[in-house]
Structure 1
Amino acid sequence: MDRQEQVMAGFWDIFNKIIGINSIKLKENFDGYNPSEIHCVEYVGKNADSNVTILADSLYMTRSAISKLTKKLVKKGLIESYQKPENKKEIYFRLTEKGEAIYNVHEELHKGYQERDKAVFEQMTKEQFDIIISFAEKYNRHLDTEIEKMGVDIKSGYFDKL
């Protein structure tokens, strides 16, 4: 296995382990809610004046999927819609009291994940962080270019259909 393969295999292993470990905690704390619902609640909780378009772009989902998702979240009492007096056309979302409670539990879980992984990150030097951050930025730009070449808008839900 060459170095590139080692790096990619390492990232896949890390990614899959994080997803696996975190999924257990998510299921324990959010029975009855799927990951898309939790991530939508998280985004609305962190970003004032979220609307369907903003949510779709941020969560890499279609506007149609976000419309369905927000309707479910309204029905479950986690978010509510509102309009601004100066813009009666646009519909925005904010958390309800129940949504705030879910958001707060989710934030506590994230703090727990950070605490769990702190031992590894505390051992890293600034230079090591800089190298990893630089690599991530370069690789992301590379992937953006490749996606562009394909003529695909990943925020349109294209990959959901594969």
Structure 2
Amino acid sequence: MKQNEILEKIICFSNKVSQNNKRPNNYGTEHTLYSAEIHMIEAIGNHKNANASELSTIMGITNGAINQVANKLIKKGLVEQYRMKDNKKDVFYQLTPQGEIANVEHSNYHKEQYHHMEEYIDELVPEEINIINKFLDELINSWPPN
């Protein structure tokens, strides 16, 4: 009985995340952005001088998906691509000023969204945090691959 209750809650949470990711949001620019787009902006902002292959590993998606999303963001004027002088093969990405605005607004969105959970986690004792982390690791490791 306890197992079903936990699994149902996991499915409910997964469905909420999935539904939220399907809706585009505005992050302070003229463009609405889908989850994959804003999270690529976040990854580029957090990992300076990352090439497509590195972004693929960071985000857990294929190089082809990186290129597709990057091209959309380039057309929207939020990302630029460039090459290093000593490495003409790899393509690297950086945020434009509008991309920086979207990244900051996305960070603010998460701060608001996660405020309650951060307060809850701050009240936990280390043993409870370890149990939650162990459970989440097992959930992630047992989740079916993409």
Could you state the TM-score of these two structures normalised by the residue count of structure 1? 0.74
Deviation at 1:123, TM superposition (A): 3.4
Confirm whether residue 58 of structure 1 aligns to residue 58 of structure 2. yes
Q: Deviations over 1:82-118 (max 9, x none)?
A: 1112111111001111100000000111111221323
Give the secondary structure class of the aligned counterpart of 1:80. strand
Cα distance change of structure 1 residues 67 and 23 upon mapping to structure 2, 3 Å threshold: closer
Alignment of 1:104-115 (within 5 A): 104-115=104-115
The answer to which structure, 1 or 2, has the higher relative contact order (CA under 8 A, 6+ apart) is: 1
Give the secondary structure class of the aligned counterpart of 2:91. strand
Measured on the aligned residues, the alpha-carbon RMSD in Å equals 2.5
Match of 1:10 in 2: 9
Q: Deviations over 1:111-139 (max 9, x none)?
A: 11221323432332221111010122234
Cα distance change of structure 1 residues 64 and 18 upon mapping to structure 2, 3 Å threshold: closer
Q: Which structure shows the bigger proportion of residues in helix conformation?
A: 1
The answer on whether the counterparts of 2:78 and 2:97 sit within 8 Å (CA) in structure 1 is yes
Bigger shift: residues 26-35 or 133-142:
26-35
Alpha-carbon distance in structure 2 between the residues aligned to 1:85 and 1:16 = 45
Alignment of 1:6-155 (within 5 A): 6-17=5-16, 27=25, 29=27, 32-143=32-143, 154=145
**Counterpart residue type for residue 51 of structure 2:** N
Alpha-carbon distance in structure 2 between the residues aligned to 1:100 and 1:42 = 9
**Counterpart residue type for residue 77 of structure 2:** G
Deviation at 1:48, TM superposition (A): 1.2
**Counterpart residue type for residue 6 of structure 1:** E
Bigger shift: residues 49-58 or 78-87:
49-58
Count residues with an aligned counterpart. Answer: 144
Of all paired residues, the percent bearing the same amino acid is: 25
Mind listing any 5+ residue stretches in structure 2 that lack a counterpart?
Answer: none
